[in-house]
Amino acid sequence: MSDQQILHDRIRAVEWSEAGLKLLDQRLLPMLKQWVTLRDVEGVANAIRDMVVRGAPAIGVTAAYGMVLAGRARYVASPRSWKQDIEADLQTLAQSRPTAVNLFWALERMKVFIATLPEGDPGVALLEEATRIHDEDIAANRRMGALGAELIKSDSVVLTHCNTGSLATGGFGTALGVIRAAYGAGKIRHVYADETRPWLQGARLTAWELVEDEIPVTLIADSAAASLMRQGQVKWVIVGSDRIAANGDVANKIGTYSLAVIARHHGVKFMVVAPTTTVDMNLSSGDQIPIEERAEEEVLSLVGQRIAPQGVRAWNPSFDVTPAALVDAIVTERGVVLAPDVAKMRKMMGG
């Protein structure tokens, strides 16, 4: 890794230690940098559900480490039946967030791996497999960063939504990984970040990551994106995804769909960056992607302080679906799909 890459990649949010699984609590950033140590599968599931950790790839990595904790505990409790008993832990983790397909991919991989293990303590082997998942995610992000950066012309200004960086992945990031790689190559001169209501991932997390890694960033309200694009500065909107359907429809943080519509109107290119673990070829279109609806209070309040009048209701879908027709490029570690459709997605995924 070059010195320039190291300069713009210094953050990790998921770490394993002998004391347990350590997560950087993203609910507290940027005001407080605090780590949470988890020692059992229930704690991991709660951390995913409560958004201590968030971002589809990071959730998958976290779930894999959760299975390490589960396997160790189940083996101590019942060495002969631990493989059967751990099924309950798989279900506990699977129910923590319904939209992020990486969660289910990681759990299925750990389940298949568990079936191959011989008799004896599985702790070391499970940790090795979870670590492989983590390392593979970082390697995939670096590959996507390089591929996505090739699409960007020099002296570009880009806009991103939500958080898709090291905090949302095993490390380096998906959409933010492309931004890191392109900035390091001298292709991006400035980044605009949507604040991303209601959890403010753009304001609290993306802006924090870019400042930490010394990449120039300006924060805007979500509703300011159209006016910004009208000025003609923004060349690319670059976002991540929590699930991509077989036809190239993309589920991502609420507000992504409106950005795609606005970008198309203003002639701004729209790039989605996500690992192939996010692609769900079992779903023919985005209409079949389950959309998580979260508590009304997240919209009605801000940082624990109610901002709306008593009696008003709130609608709080966590994600929306952007049709493939509005996507100029899907970037994965396996390659780039321009103007995605079913045939191109199948080819990229290997049939």
Q: What are 43's two structure tokens?
A: 């704690």
| Strand pairing report for 250-253 and 301-302 | unpaired
Residue 322 β-bridge partners: 250
- Average pLDDT of 122-145? 97
- Average pLDDT of 147-171? 96
The fraction of the chain above a pLDDT of 70, given in percent, is 98
For position 7, what pLDDT does the model report?
56
pLDDT bracket for residue 99 (50, 70, 90): confident
Residue 319 β-bridge partners: 253
For position 195, what pLDDT does the model report?
97
Angle, vertex CA 82, rays to CA 36 and CA 69, nearest 5: 10
Residue 5 has pLDDT above 60, yes or no: no
**Could you read off the pLDDT of 237-281 as tens digits, one per residue?**
999 999 999 999 999 999 999 999 999 999 999 999 999 989 999
For position 101, what pLDDT does the model report?
82
Q: CA-based Rg of the chain, rounded to a whole angstrom?
A: 20
- Spell out the alpha helix ranges (H) of 34-77: 41-49, 56-77
Q: Which of 9-23, 99-113, 151-165 has maximum average pLDDT?
A: 151-165
For position 13, what pLDDT does the model report?
92
Q: What are 324's two structure tokens?
A: 């493939």
For position 303, what pLDDT does the model report?
80
- Average pLDDT of 98-103? 81
Do residues 122 and 114 lie in contact, with contact meaning Cβ atoms separated by under 8 Å? yes
| Residues annotated as part of the active site | 242
First and final C-alpha spacing in the chain: 33
Residue 189 has pLDDT above 60, yes or no: yes
Residue 1 has pLDDT above 60, yes or no: no
pLDDT bracket for residue 100 (50, 70, 90): confident
- Average pLDDT of 62-90? 97
Do residues 321 and 289 lie in contact, with contact meaning Cβ atoms separated by under 8 Å? yes
Mutual orientation of helices 56-77 and 41-49 as an angle, nearest 10°? 160
Residue 4 has pLDDT above 80, yes or no: no
pLDDT bracket for residue 55 (50, 70, 90): confident
149, 341, 154: which is closest to 244 by C-alpha?
Answer: 341
On average, the pLDDT of the chain sits at 95
| Strand pairing report for 217-220 and 188-194 | parallel
Sheet of strand 279-280: strand arrangement: 279-280, 243-245, 250-253, 319-322
Tell me the residue type at 264.
Answer: R
- Average pLDDT of 47-75? 95
**Could you read off the pLDDT of 194-231 as tens digits, one per residue?**
999 999 999 999 999 999 999 999 999 999 999 999 99
Residue 2 has pLDDT above 60, yes or no: no
